[in-house]
Structure 1
Amino acid sequence: MLDVDLSQPLWMLLAFVGLGWLAARRLAVDPRPIATLLIYIIAPLTFFRGLTLGGPSIDYLLLTAALFLLASTIGLAVSHAARPFFASEEAALLAFSSGTGNTGYFGLPIAMVLLPPEGVTQYLFCLLGVTLYEFTVGYYLIARGRFSVRDSLAKILRLPLVYAFAAALLVSGLSLPIPGAVMEGLDYFKYSYTVLGMMIIGMTLGRVTLHEVDARFIGACVAARYVLWPLVSLAAVLLLQASIGISETLASALLLLGVVPMAANVVVVAMELNIRPEKGTIAVLLTTLAAPLLIPWYLQVLLALSGLG
């Protein structure tokens, strides 16, 4: 799997971050409307298209459910552990970020380079589980940093991604035809999903000042993403290999989920809720900058430890 050169797609994704920084600094582009577009239009349509094309089966939906439960467990555990050490907004931001990673904007293009078509489909359904966490349990965790329980739940009910997921299951389950022109139109959203998702990191970074650098918070975010998640993904692969047995393709997809950088949606959601987006951006940027160096090394080590290298 690692015979493929990852340097070009990784650095291209970082180039999108740089373009976002230039747009904010030189053109005074406001990232908040873009965050709203990503949450309410682009992401739901992108996942609706991917699900209908992928043909959700019971096995694929089990992957979605398993990753949703795993991400939710990590997010809830970190939320409980972080409260004594961080202010409410920082603890909420850390809890949200710990349960997720940049599996979509960053990880999906890498999966398409590394994995065969079956592996990309498996990765997509795993990614969906993480994304469902982001816009349900994770969204609730981060909203609770500022809003009441009632307001936080009300905000979740307004998010369209869960409804897009249900609509895709309905369309696939009833074998409803989707016009070719509609699917062709939806195809454009997958490109804007990645480009705008990475650019918004740079746009937010353009508004960051030095006093917002919090080494303790950044260290906790990095540890959750580049220590906890690789260990959890490796443990999951080893457990599945020893119990039911899984294919090398699925094992590789699960390991890739564990080594992507922090989620750009940390910035997107924090910006939408106005919960310290600048602070989250610094941690997201650092893990993203480290990704071209860490991802190939991490994958090589994890594949070797799981007997696939």
Structure 2
Amino acid sequence: MNGIEPGALMGPLWTLLAFVGLGWIAARRLAVDPRPIATLLIYLIAPITVFRALTLGGPTPEYLLLTFALFGVSSLVAVAMQRLTRRRFETQESALLAFSSGTGNTGYFGLPVALVLLPPEGVTLYLFCMLGVTLYEFTVGFYLSARGQFSIRQSLVRITRLPLVYAFLAALLASAIGLEVPGAMIDGMAVFPATYTLLGMMIIGMTLGRVSFRELDLRFIGACVAIRYGLWPLLMLFAVLGLQQLMPLSVELAMALLLIGVVPMAANVVVVAMELGIAAEKGALAVLVTTLAAPLLIPLYLGLMLPLVGIT
């Protein structure tokens, strides 16, 4: 597995960049406002996507342990970064940097890559890891972002209004009581994951369509790149090595965890920033930079890390 070629990632990359380009055209030529789309993603499309994924995945205690473990890791990283950066950046930038530090593009970009690199069992493991990151985005991450613009009380109220948490709990409850979601409903929700990806990446393009050179903040972008491609690969590498010392760790789970660590910045950085009105343009530039670097850095990182964890 350590012979991963950059070409294997070009398909997902060009697809995502095409969606970004469509968003740019929509903003520049059609004057489409991305803010209602961000609201639609957060309050409707993302919750249904998560509900469907959990329902189809068949959550078991072992799978849910992965979800909550990744939720905890993401939250700890974000809170630590928020404390480290709040005096070095302006309030909105610090809030956005804290949010972005706890997440990555595990869905729009990482899932297509996981489908290429992992067997079916590995993809399932990756999905439940991804759900933990998504749960962080719309709870702790959303709160940290909101604190860049709102008070503690206002931020907490906004979280209680997010339906993704309730969709997550509803899927767990349905599984626990053995309630089977009708097949017709599952089929009807099949369009939402693709819509989630399409609109999520288009929002980056729409935001870039409004960017001026004044928004180019190399210090902010550098911090985002350092966290995403410096901290996270090391964090996941040490996590895999540590788990291998404590218990037998499957190759599929090790690969899933390492992949979580090397994906580019999350497109939801822009979605949440757009919804809350905090430095969305700077976030879009940072997301674009890390996404463009992904086809080169992901094979490099995995090629270096897989032998270290005993995967050949």
Q: Does residue 134 in structure 1 map to residue 137 in structure 2?
A: yes
Correspondence for 1:283 among 276, 281, 286 = 286
Q: Which residue in 2 is equivalent to 1:11?
A: 14
Distance 2:202 2:49 in 1: 17
Cα shift at 1:7: 1.9
Q: Which residue in 2 is equivalent to 1:193?
A: 196
Correspondence for 1:95 among 98, 122, 136 = 98
Q: Give the secondary-structure state (helix, strand or coil) at the position aligned to 2:190.
A: helix
Aligned-partner residue type, residue 255 of structure 2: S
Distance 2:97 2:284 in 1: 12
Q: Which residue in 1 is equivalent to 2:114?
A: 111
Q: Give the secondary-structure state (helix, strand or coil) at the position aligned to 2:149.
A: coil
The 8 Å contact of residues 107 and 260 in structure 1, kept in 2 or not, is answered as: yes
Distance 1:300 1:21 in 2: 34
Deviations 1:14-46 (A, max 9, x none): 221112112211221111111111111111111
Say how many residue pairs are matched: 309
Distance 2:92 2:140 in 1: 16
The 8 Å contact of residues 97 and 262 in structure 1, kept in 2 or not, is answered as: yes
Q: Which residue in 1 is equivalent to 2:38?
A: 35
More displaced 10-residue stretch of structure 1: 260-269 or 107-116 = 107-116
Correspondence for 1:67 among 65, 70, 75 = 70
The 8 Å contact of residues 28 and 209 in structure 2, kept in 1 or not, is answered as: yes
Deviations 1:201-241 (A, max 9, x none): 11111110000111111111110000000000100011011
Correspondence for 2:172 among 166, 169, 172 = 169
Q: Does residue 121 in structure 1 map to residue 124 in structure 2?
A: yes
Q: Does residue 241 in structure 1 map to residue 244 in structure 2?
A: yes
Distance 1:49 1:291 in 2: 28
Q: Which residue in 2 is equivalent to 1:292?
A: 295
Q: Does residue 252 in structure 1 map to residue 249 in structure 2?
A: no
Q: Which residue in 2 is equivalent to 1:150?
A: 153
The 8 Å contact of residues 12 and 109 in structure 2, kept in 1 or not, is answered as: no
The 8 Å contact of residues 19 and 202 in structure 2, kept in 1 or not, is answered as: yes
Q: Does residue 180 in structure 1 map to residue 183 in structure 2?
A: yes
Identity %: 69
Distance 2:298 2:200 in 1: 19
Cα shift at 1:3: 5.3
Aligned-partner residue type, residue 112 of structure 2: P
The 8 Å contact of residues 4 and 303 in structure 2, kept in 1 or not, is answered as: no
Q: Does residue 49 in structure 1 map to residue 46 in structure 2?
A: no
Distance 2:24 2:295 in 1: 19
More displaced 10-residue stretch of structure 1: 6-15 or 125-134 = 6-15
TM-score normalised to the size of structure 1? Answer: 0.97
Q: Give the secondary-structure state (helix, strand or coil) at the position aligned to 1:6.
A: helix
The 8 Å contact of residues 135 and 159 in structure 1, kept in 2 or not, is answered as: yes
Deviations 1:110-151 (A, max 9, x none): 112221111111111111111111111111111111100000
The 8 Å contact of residues 11 and 292 in structure 1, kept in 2 or not, is answered as: no
Aligned-partner residue type, residue 29 of structure 2: R
Distance 1:45 1:17 in 2: 23
Aligned-partner residue type, residue 131 of structure 1: T
The 8 Å contact of residues 16 and 201 in structure 2, kept in 1 or not, is answered as: yes
Distance 1:170 1:148 in 2: 32
Cα shift at 1:13: 1.6
Cα shift at 1:9: 2.0
The 8 Å contact of residues 125 and 256 in structure 2, kept in 1 or not, is answered as: yes
Q: Does residue 23 in structure 1 map to residue 26 in structure 2?
A: yes
The 8 Å contact of residues 240 and 257 in structure 2, kept in 1 or not, is answered as: yes
Q: Which residue in 1 is equivalent to 2:230?
A: 227
Distance 2:11 2:106 in 1: 18
Correspondence for 1:273 among 266, 271, 276 = 276
